[in-house]
Structure 1
Amino acid sequence: MKDKKILIVEDQIEMRTINTLFLERHGYRVMAVGNGAEGIRSAREHQPDLILMDLSIPVVNGFDATEQIKRNPETEHIPVVVLTAFSYGSAGRRAREAGCDAFITKPCNPQRLLMEIQQRIGPAEEQLH
């Protein structure tokens, strides 16, 4: 079975690093980029199994990046999980309209994040301990 790839689109280096290490420890292959334009390009080029998308990112914001990913036939099948400091309210509605598959507010419980990922793409093959 192939490695499960997750693309993290997050401008805060600390959050990218924490989530990358956490997901790699649970056996996922992780790619991380710092803005929405890179996220759109990486989604097309690398075809990840899932995208973790922040909403407040530079160049192309997370709402627009999600919408572009979901409108492209090459990437529309990729689940997008929004991980953001925005409260659900209007941001959640706008994210759903853009096509996101789940909405998690930061800070989040790492086990909840893992559960959301596993519900969409299943567990990774091997976990590092």
Structure 2
Amino acid sequence: MNDATPIPRRPEPRTQRRPLILCVEDNEDSRALYAAFLTRAGFRVTEASNGAEGLERAQALRPDLIVLDISLPVMDGREMLRRLRDADPSQTVPVIVVTGQAYPEHWRDAIDRGCDAYLTKPCPLGDLLAAVLKVISLKRAKDAEDKSS
């Protein structure tokens, strides 16, 4: 791994299962790097190499979080995100977009489509981990609030 960020080992409390992250990235090296890093950080990780496969896996597995590239073959990340949000608005899985598209109109479009965080490549692994931890923490808090309501 080329990033100088140390990989933390955070034990999950035994009462909670380890969160499942779906990594949708067409670049095999990037996908493998993200998957290895997030696995080492204590998450379960599954992968997809294009938007159509990512959408299928998201609907079948219901991951706790999706790390999504925008520039994907077969179905791009924008379309995958739109279809994901349209499929079941009451069950919105958090999505972190990690992309090389860095212009303000790109991140505004991704936010408008329902992403929860937007990171640009090259993305330091520490930044990815911080975003994952923040988004999962917010999801857990919302889920707990929904249960108590």
| Structure with more contact order per residue of length (Cα contacts < 8 Å, sep ≥ 6) | 1
Q: 1:42 to 1:91 in 2, by over 3 A?
A: same
The 3-state SS of whatever aligns with 1:18 is helix
What is the match of residue 82 of structure 2?
67
What is the match of residue 50 of structure 2?
35
Equivalent positions of 1:1-129 (< 5 A) are 1-73=16-88, 76-122=91-137
Task: Note the residue ranges of structure 1 that are not aligned, 5 or more in a row.
Answer: 123-129
The 3-state SS of whatever aligns with 1:96 is helix
Runs of 4+ in 1 over 6 A off after TM superposition: none
Deviations 1:56-98, CA, capped at 9 Å, x for gaps: 0011100110111111117842001000011041111111121
Normalised by the length of structure 2, the TM-score is: 0.78
- Larger Rg, first or second structure (1 or 2): 2
CA distance in 1, matches of 2:44, 2:109: 29
Normalised by the length of structure 1, the TM-score is: 0.90
CA distance in 1, matches of 2:103, 2:37: 24
The 3-state SS of whatever aligns with 2:45 is strand
CA distance in 1, matches of 2:19, 2:108: 28
Identity between Structure 1 and Structure 2 (%): 37
